[in-house]
Amino acid sequence: MACSTIMWLDEVNATVEFEPVGTHPGHRRRGLARAMLLHGMRLARAAGARHATVACAGAPGHPAARALYQGVGFREISRDAPLAKPATAA
C-alpha cells in the first residue's frame, strides 16, 4: 500500500475528519496524499460535509505534513498539548 487514510463523516455537524493519513516512505513526494485528500474531500462534500479537519500529530516536528495539509487548503486552528502520566507501581 502506498498511501492511505480513514475518513470519519459526522453527518450531524456536516464535518469529515481525515485520521490517520499516511504515505509509505518509498512513495512520498509523488502527490499521492494530496490526490487522496482532494478526492476524499470531494466524496465528503457529495455526502453533505461542509467542513473538513485533519490532525497533524506533532505538527512542529512534521513540516512536510503541515505543508501538505496547508497546500490543500487546511489552516491551523489549534495546537494540542499531549498529556502523559507515567505508570505507577502497583
Domain ranges across the chain? 1-19+52-72
- The DSSP code for 86 is -
Contact 1, 24 (CB under 8 A): yes
What is the predicted pLDDT for the residue at 90?
Answer: 61
Lookup: cell for 7: 475518513
Written in H, E and C, the secondary structure of 48-79 is CCCEEEECCCCHHHCHHHHHHHHHCCCCCCCC
| Per-residue pLDDT in tens (0 to 9) along the chain, 90 residues | 999 999 999 999 999 999 999 999 999 999 999 999 999 999 999 999 999 999 876 556 788 888 999 999 999 887 766 677 778 766
